[in-house]
């Protein structure tokens, strides 16, 4: 599928988002911070990271902005609102909301791959209001109602 992408001024000189391998599901997004600027995420802090691009998804698709597992496992840094939703009618800059759950300050610099974008189809629901819903074995049970143990206790 082709998706129109536009590089913003802050994205000039950075690679466009790209798949890191033939089978990668996500396009890696690059931090479009000003050259030479370091953004330090202190433990517990969050910040919105510009990526220097805007995209126009086809109708019927969204893009999910997801964490990179390497940043999460190495530094405790993840996407706070994961998965972030990029709507097909959004034309602003794609931004990643990162949070540092680790114990050390985390430094972000221009060109760092901070998150990834997975394009996915969207099913739009037509809600039909009803007086009653059909009955099921689960009923209103949830939040661990079937047990939390490995053996389903």
Ligand X SMILES: O=c1ccn([C@H]2C[C@H](O)[C@@H](COP(=O)(O)OP(=O)(O)OP(=O)(O)O)O2)c(=O)[nH]1
Using rule CB under 6 A, residue 81 touches ligand X: yes
71, 94, 108, 117: which one binds ligand X (CB under 6 A)? 94
Using rule CB under 6 A, residue 90 touches ligand X: yes
Using rule CB under 6 A, residue 118 touches ligand X: no
State the Cα–Cα distance between residues 97 and 78, nearest whole angstrom: 8
Q: Are 55 and 63 in contact (CB under 8 A)?
A: yes
Q: Which residue is nearest to ligand X (CB)?
A: 84
Expressed in percent and rounded to 5, the helix, strand and coil fractions of the chain are 5, 35, 60
Whole-number Cα distances in Å, 140 to 122, 125, 134, 136, 137: 27, 22, 12, 9, 9
Using rule CB under 6 A, residue 120 touches ligand X: no
Identify which of residues 53 and 106 has a Cβ nearer to ligand X in the complex.
53
* Residue 25, beta-bridge partner list: none
Q: How far is the CB of 63 from ligand X (least distance, A)?
A: 8
Is 109 labeled as ligand-binding?
no
Binding footprint of ligand X on the chain (CB under 6 A):
65, 81, 84-87, 90, 94-95, 97
């Amino acid at each position: 599928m082709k998706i129109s992408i536009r590089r913003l001024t802050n994205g000039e000189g950075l690679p466009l988002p790209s798949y890191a391998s033939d089978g990668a599901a996500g396009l890696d997004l690059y931090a479009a911070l000003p050259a030479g600027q370091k953004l330090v995420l202190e433990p517990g802090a969050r910040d919105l990271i510009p990526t220097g691009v805007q995209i126009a998804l086809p109708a019927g698709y969204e893009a999910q902005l997801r964490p990179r597992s390497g940043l999460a496992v190495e530094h405790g840094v993840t996407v706070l609102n994961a998965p972030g939703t990029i709507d097909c009618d959004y034309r602003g800059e794609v931004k990643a909301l990162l949070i540092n759950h680790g114990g050390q300050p985390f430094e972000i610099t221009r060109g760092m791959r901070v998150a990834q974008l997975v394009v996915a189809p969207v099913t739009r629901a037509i809600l039909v209001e009803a007086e009653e819903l059909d009955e099921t074995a689960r009923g209103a049970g949830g939040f661990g109602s079937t047990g939390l143990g490995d053996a389903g206790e």
